[in-house]
Structure 1
Amino acid sequence: MKIRTVTSLREFDQLAAVWRDITDASGQRSPFMSHDWFASCWRTAGPHCRREVWIVEDAAGPLAIIPLLYSRRWYRRFPSRTLQLMHAPGTPTADLPVAREFDEVAVAFLDHLRSRRDWDLLVMPGLAAESSTWKAFESALTNRYSWRVANRIRLPYVQLSERDPSLRAMLDGLRGAVASSQSRGSVPVVVEEHRDLDVRGPLFDEIMGVLNARRHTIAGMPAPSGEEVRRFLRELTPRAASNSWLSLWVLRFGGLVVETEYQLVADGRVHALRRDADRTPPALRLGDVLTLSILEALVRRPTAHIY
């Protein structure tokens, strides 16, 4: 196997067809492996990161793509030359497009990494423990480098079937909480779903105004600022809409957007990327109202299976 590197935006954009071939061959249509997802990451990574896309090839052609960011930064109070998987700010999920031969791809990547002398630290945030990519890297890392799992994030999910007892219990609990919540008087509460959105329009700005910066870190990397997240979502939203992935839920209280959930929907899976809320009184249980509305809508959709 050999690895070639792409470092310009023009070359990256030209990879779209090859990228699609690899994801199609892998049988995994996750938005988080798509060229559009990483195009959003590339374009919003900021001026202090060098973009590198490593293309792993064998005699039959490209079989894996590994998008990376190179930067000089402080890591756990030490200066570091850092390579990290290209990653969306504030999003705990990531994966790589690999068509086949996961173990060989991981070994080729690490061997190529060993040949470089311009890095101190490799960070791989967001890989799921059950993913073939992570399992291959975990095996290949043994006896090559000192490594550790920096942190683990649990992402709960529910089967979207009313025959599922956990979903029934969740719906019953939410209905009870909403029914017993503090009176909202005559203030109207409206829940909307948007599958397409003009990022230059006032609604997008209103939704982004609710977005909260989160201070938790992923794999020890600095938490992104609210502006970094907004920039990424502004780039991602039209791409997600054009792929029919986008589902953006909005709860209005008295006409104002006070709570939102940004989802990507593909292959029966509803991925909730972000949940943000304004500072409305908790006793109003507006978050429960939005969650209940989302779940009741999703259960009625035959194409949605996991949330």
Structure 2
Amino acid sequence: MEVVSTLQATSVRGSAQAPASGKVCVIDTVDGFASLRDAWDRLVSDGRESPIFLCHGWFDAAWRWHAKSASLHILAYFEGTELKAILPLVRQTWRIGTQRIRALEFLSVPDAQHCDVVVAHASRAVAARAFVEELAARHREWDVLRLGYLHDDSVASTELRSEFGGRGFRSAVCATNPNPFVCLDSTWSCYYDTRTRRLKKASNLAANRVERAGPVRIEWLSPGSGNAEDVDRVIKTIVGISARSWKAKTGNSLDQSGPQQLIRRLSAAAHERGWLSVWILYLRDLPVAMEYQLVAEGNVYALRSDFDARYQEISPGSHLNRVALEQLFGQGLKRYYMGPGANAYKYRWCDQAISMHKLEVFSHSIWGRLLASWETGVKPVAKRIRDRFSSGGTADREIKLSEW
């Protein structure tokens, strides 16, 4: 495999279980990143869940979002010339007052629903050890490692964290917003019968408001359908909807440079692989709401939904979501994931959710130690004291440090 000779290589040290030929390469150029594509995707096909969020095309699209604000720092573990594992990172800089905090984070975006080390199952332990060896050797070059969108059994929160702990690095794992989902293996009528009367009433009212507003047309660019021109037209349409949504004030609407680069790159790659699914609701032939999905391995991942803010009172986004969900039943699909978040409306439709976590590892640098003291010491104590007082019944007694 030619890529090894073109990349910066660092030998893996101090591991009796690691093959003598094992090495970690640090990829910090776009060309180096691109050269890994085929070998990367072969790793993803080795029985991993959520292939969409681990494939090279997803990270390539995510890089388009970060290109102006971060730098690539992808760790690739090789045995001989064979790629065995990838830790897809970027370097970011935060500021606390005048101090710069050097962070390593997953190459990810707010629309992600999963992330992890990309590795064949048989290589989990040795790859984790190799990556930690590399990061430990360079501990003065970073202050904190932040890895989000982790599932319970992720490599990052199990093997990787354990290896860091064995080398004296302090770390913290905290729960983040779960990812709610709807099972699609029954019928729509059976599922809808389980929803509350309140939800059904709100859904019917939204449908009536939309119907009264004018002729309604819903377009679905389903997985595997359409050509490149159809994709380009649909993406232009949803970018326009997003530009007129409330998200325009947040900087994350699809007309912004980073998000637009992401959605265009991702859509081209997803359409090529038969993953792209886009729903658009038109009122009087004007596009007013959309939902952007990816579909793979029988699962539907709703990445983004937007609506034209001028039509907020008639709830076109809610109506489109309900229609799209109904159509997904009976398609031979397994689950519809709504995306991590604490949004109340998601839990009106869902009874189950996938747990999500975030791992933070603190370097031995000065600021790494300070952050570790705050995140693993002061902050948890302060939170527990606050929670104890806010729950009532504690204001009239002394809180002993031994309780914490």
TM range (shorter): 0.7 to 0.9
Distance in 2 of aligned mates of 1:166 and 1:135: 36
Contact 1:262 1:275 in 2 (8 A): yes
Question: 1:207: which partner in 2?
Answer: 238
Amino acid at match of 2:238: I
| Secondary structure at the counterpart of residue 280 of structure 2 | strand
Q: Which has the higher contact order (CA 8 A, sep 6+)?
A: 2
What is the aligned partner in structure 2 of residue 118 from structure 1? Answer: 141
2:178 aligns with 154
CA distance in 1, matches of 2:326, 2:63: 36
| Alignment counterpart, residue 309 of structure 2, candidates 279, 291, 299 | 279
Higher helix share: 2
Letter in 2 for 1:125: G
CA RMSD of aligned residues (A): 3.0
- Pick from 106, 117, 142: which aligns with 2:165? 142
Q: For the residues of structure 2 that align with 1:77 and 1:275, how far apart are their CA atoms?
A: 37
Q: 1:285 to 1:172 in 2, by over 3 A?
A: farther
Farther off after superposition, 9-18 or 169-178:
169-178
Contact 1:210 1:277 survives alignment (8 Å): yes
Matched, 1:305 2:334: yes
Alignment of structure 1 residues 212-223 onto 2, 5 Å: 212=245, 213=247
- State the percentage of identical aligned residues: 24
Task: Tell me if 1:252 matches 2:282.
Answer: yes
User: Which range is displaced more, 144-153 or 5-14?
Assistant: 144-153
The aligned runs of 1:1-307 (5 Å cut-off) are 1-28=22-49, 30-58=51-79, 61-74=82-95, 78-100=99-121, 101-116=123-138, 117-143=140-166, 144-149=168-173, 152-162=176-186, 168-170=193-195, 176-181=201-206, 183=209, 184-185=211-212, 187-195=214-222, 196=226, 198=229, 201-211=232-242, 212=245, 213=247, 227=256, 228-302=258-332, 304-307=333-336
Deviation for aligned residue 1:102? 1.7
Distance 1:90 1:20, change over 3 A: closer
State how far apart, in whole Å, the 2-side matches of 1:154 and 1:59 are: 39
Structure 2 spans left out of the alignment, 5+ residues: 1-21, 337-404
- Tell me if the contact between 1:93 and 1:127 (Cα under 8 Å) persists in the aligned partners: yes
After superposition, give the CA deviation of every residue in 1:95-147 in whole Å (9 maximum; x if it has no partner).
33211332332222122101112111211122223434433233333353222
Whether the 8 Å CA contact 1:177–1:285 is kept in 2: the answer is no
Give the Cα separation in 2 of the matches to 1:37 and 1:28: 14
Determine which structure has more spread, i.e. the larger CA radius of gyration. Answer: 2
Amino acid at match of 1:240: A
Task: Give, as a single letter, the amino acid of the residue that structure 1 aligns with 2:182.
Answer: V
For the 8 Å contact 1:53–1:65, the answer to whether it is kept is yes
TM-score (norm 1): 0.84
Where do 5+ consecutive residues of structure 1 fail to align? 217-222
